[in-house]
């Protein structure tokens, strides 16, 4: 199987770096390797690699200072502090975290606050018979203060 960049045409490509990770569950024990997040160049060469000890979802954001924010995949362990968003420096040290049941996406606002798509414990029967959780969107400061929130599942527009 061929890996790496198969074809690269600088005149047709949107040149830059690509940041990616795979979705992984939490390591089960000390013998399991840490999870990795990669920054690659246009040739497919790894420019930087972060190793993390938590689970990963596949959506990360690289910050201007070289730090990285990523959401964890496992949302079941909120009481133990193993889920939410993590900010790590280029060496992989956790410099900030926010405990929540992050559900795939978050956005960093121009003022530095974060909008985080999370889920609640309550079920949303309108979404079908499968196990569905109600959406809960929060805006938090970097000091972890709640600025605003929106709860789905029966909420009316504007609430």
Count of domains for the chain:
1
Domain membership flag for residue 4:
no
> Could you tell me which residue, 30 or 126, shows the higher pLDDT?
30
Q: What residues contact residue 59 under an 8 Å CB cut-off, 6+ apart?
A: 70, 71, 104, 105, 106
- With a cut of 60, say whether residue 13 has pLDDT above it: yes
Residues 122-150 have pLDDT tens digits of 555 555 555 566 778 899 999 999 999 98
CATH of the domain at 48: 2.120.10.30
Domain membership flag for residue 93:
yes
| Number of other CB atoms surrounding residue 118 within 10 Å | 25
> Could you tell me which residue, 45 or 82, shows the higher pLDDT?
45
Distances (CA, A) of 18 to 10, 41, 90: 15, 7, 16
Domain membership flag for residue 135:
yes
User: Is beta strand 146-151 parallel, antiparallel or unpaired with respect to 114-123?
Assistant: unpaired
Mean pLDDT of 45-58: 80
Beta-bridge partners for 94: 88
Domain membership flag for residue 11:
no
Arithmetic mean of pLDDT over the chain: 78
> Could you tell me which residue, 41 or 31, shows the higher pLDDT?
41
Write out the residue range of the structural domain in which residue 142 sits: 18-151
Domain membership flag for residue 87:
yes
Residue among 97, 125, 103 at smallest CA distance from 116: 103
Domain membership flag for residue 101:
yes
Domain membership flag for residue 98:
yes
3-state secondary structure labels for all residues of the chain = CCCCCCCCCCCCCCCCCEEEECCECCCCCCCCCCEEEEEECCCCCEEEEEEECCCECCCCEECCCCCEEEECCCCCCHHHCCCCEEEECCCCCEEEEECCCEEEEEEECCCCCEEEEEEEEEECHHHCCCCCEEEEEEEECCCCCEEEEEECCCCCCCC
Mean pLDDT of 68-95: 78
Least confident of 44-48, 63-67, 99-103, 143-147: 99-103
- With a cut of 70, say whether residue 25 has pLDDT above it: no
Q: What is the pLDDT of residue 140?
A: 94
Mean pLDDT of 50-72: 83
Mean pLDDT of 94-122: 85
Domain membership flag for residue 159:
no
Mean pLDDT of 26-38: 68
The pTM assigned to this predicted structure is: 0.75
């Amino acid at each position: 199987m061929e890996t790496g960049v198969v074809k690269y045409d600088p005149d047709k490509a949107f040149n830059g770096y690509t940041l990616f990770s795979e979705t992984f569950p939490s390591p089960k024990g000390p013998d399991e390797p840490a999870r990795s997040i990669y920054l690659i160049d246009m040739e497919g060469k790894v420019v930087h690699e972060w190793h993390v000890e938590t689970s990963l979802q596949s959506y990360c954001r690289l910050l201007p200072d070289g730090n990285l924010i990523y959401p964890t995949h496992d949302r079941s362990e909120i009481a133990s502090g193993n889920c939410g968003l993590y900010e790590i420096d280029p060496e992989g040290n956790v410099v900030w975290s926010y405990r929540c049941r992050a559900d795939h996406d978050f956005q960093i606002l121009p003022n530095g606050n974060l909008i985080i798509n999370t889920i609640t414990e309550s079920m949303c029967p309108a979404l079908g018979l499968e196990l569905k959780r109600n959406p809960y969107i929060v805006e938090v400061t970097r000091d972890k203060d709640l600025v605003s929130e929106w709860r789905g599942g029966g909420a009316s527009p504007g609430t």
